[in-house]
């Protein structure tokens, strides 16, 4: 939050004829508005991990800016979604812009790296991919954006990228250093609640006709006892679902996420979890309306 300046425009002399518009102190009117920047790896990560926070911050009058490291070129497109001659990266740019609109964010800014693909894939060696990026240069690109948009709060990922995707790990590294370079102290690591995932997998496990994600639950996200903040965003799950649907090249109607019964979807996506770098053993997350700094 920016410091509140004196409300000159409330003083009676400010309302004299013809002078009121000139005297109006616009900066004081904007004093409660902060800029939230979300740094993500691929289009669709924003909706899944931080869509609720984005809606909440935007509805509260804050500026919401999404920076995406890559265009997600290595995703697996759903059958029939690509137009003739269209690449997956091009399609995902359009999808992300649509999702940003739904979530109350400005049009996305790309850091212009290529998707590295899952760990161990030959695409990890692509010199243009984010994993192979000159980290110093990537930090410079992001910190310039952070300064340009006057960021107050930045979200990145936890140090293992939630589930180990190279681009997500790189978001952590680059994001943390860029925040330091830009002088931003309100930095939060978006994570998943490992305990909640375990329970959910057990409940969902028995159901048929559902694509089950292949994941190693024991290393996913963060144990609840180490998480710093919980942002409750259950009231925004409808918009979050719409934003996920906007990513139609990736999230088909029969996907694990969208097949969830409504109550289950709300449990899975109505809460968003954030760590503070280097802070663990918190005894469980503190529930906040918005992240401190907003």
Q: What's the farthest any 2 CA atoms get from each other in the chain?
A: 72
Per rule CB under 5 A, is residue 41 in the interface with Zn ion? Answer: yes
Among 36, 45, 95, 161, binds Zn ion (CB under 5 A): 45
**42 vs 71 by CB, closer to Zn ion:** 42
Query: How many residues touch Zn ion (CB under 5 A)?
Result: 3
Q: Compute the least distance from the CB of residue 165 to Zn ion, in Å.
A: 6
| Interface characters, 3-22, with Zn ion (x: CB under 5 A) | --------------------
Is 49 or 294 the residue whose CB approaches Zn ion more closely?
A: 49
Instruction: Indicate the residue among 96 and 294 with the shorter CB distance to Zn ion.
Output: 96
* Shorter beta-carbon distance to Zn ion: residue 174 or 294: 174
Taking the complex as a whole, how short is the minimal distance between the CB of residue 197 and Zn ion, in angstroms?
Answer: 16
Q: Which residue has the tokens 């920016």?
A: 2
Strand partners, 64: 36
Asked if residue 73 binds Zn ion (CB under 5 A), the reply is no
Query: Whose Cβ is closer to Zn ion: residue 117's or residue 285's?
Result: 117
Q: How far is the CB of 97 from Zn ion (least distance, A)?
A: 17
Q: Which residue is nearest to Zn ion (CB)?
A: 42
Minimum Å gap between C-beta 245 and Zn ion is 17
User: By C-beta, is 63 or 91 nearer to Zn ion?
Assistant: 91
CA 114 – CA 73 distance, rounded (Å): 7
**Do residues 138 and 174 make contact, with C-beta atoms less than 8 angstroms apart?**
yes
The interface with Zn ion within residues 257-276 (CB under 5 A) comprises: none
List the structure tokens of 257.
């996420």
Residues 156-215 within binding reach of Zn ion (CB under 5 A): none
92 binds Zn ion (CB under 5 A): no
Residues in 205-244 at the binding interface with Zn ion, rule: CB under 5 A: none
Joined together, the tokens standing for residue 114 give 């290529």
Which CB, 46 or 152, lies closer to Zn ion? 46
The window from 15-23, 35-43, 74-82, 128-136 that contacts Zn ion (CB under 5 A) reads: 35-43
42 binds Zn ion (CB under 5 A): yes
115 lines the binding site for Zn ion (CB under 5 A)? no
Among residues 41 and 179, whose Cβ is nearest to Zn ion?
Answer: 41
CA distance 42 to 243: 14
Q: Which residues bind Zn ion (CB under 5 A)?
A: 41-42, 45
């Amino acid at each position: 939050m920016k410091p509140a300046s004196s409300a000159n425009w409330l003083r009676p002399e400010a309302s004299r004829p013809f002078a009121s518009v000139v005297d109006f102190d616009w900066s004081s009117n904007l004093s409660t508005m902060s800029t939230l920047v979300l740094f993500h790896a691929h289009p669709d990560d924003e909706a899944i991990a931080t869509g609720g926070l984005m809606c909440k911050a935007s509805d509260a009058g804050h500026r919401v800016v999404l920076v995406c490291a890559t265009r997600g070129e290595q995703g697996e497109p759903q059958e029939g979604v690509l137009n003739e001659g269209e690449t997956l990266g091009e399609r995902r740019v359009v999808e992300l812009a649509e999702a940003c609109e739904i979530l109350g964010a400005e049009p996305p800014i790309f850091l212009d790296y290529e998707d590295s693909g899952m760990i161990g894939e030959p695409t990890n060696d692509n010199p243009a991919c984010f994993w192979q990026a000159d980290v110093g240069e990537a930090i410079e690109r992001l910190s310039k954006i952070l300064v340009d948009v006057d960021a107050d709060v930045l979200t990145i990922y936890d140090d293992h990228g939630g589930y180990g995707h190279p681009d997500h790990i790189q978001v952590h590294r680059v994001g943390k250093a860029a925040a330091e370079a830009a002088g931003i102290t309100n930095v939060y690591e978006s994570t998943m609640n490992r305990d909640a995932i375990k329970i959910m997998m057990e409940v969902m496990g028995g159901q048929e006709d559902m694509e089950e994600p292949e994941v190693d639950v024991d290393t996913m996200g963060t144990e609840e006892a180490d998480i710093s903040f919980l942002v409750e965003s259950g009231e925004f799950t409808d918009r979050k679902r719409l934003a996920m649907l906007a990513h139609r090249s990736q999230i088909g109607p029969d996907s694990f996420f969208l097949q969830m019964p409504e109550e289950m979807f709300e449990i899975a996506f109505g809460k968003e979890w954030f760590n503070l770098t280097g802070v663990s053993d918190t005894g469980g997350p503190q529930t906040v309306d918005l992240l401190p700094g907003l």
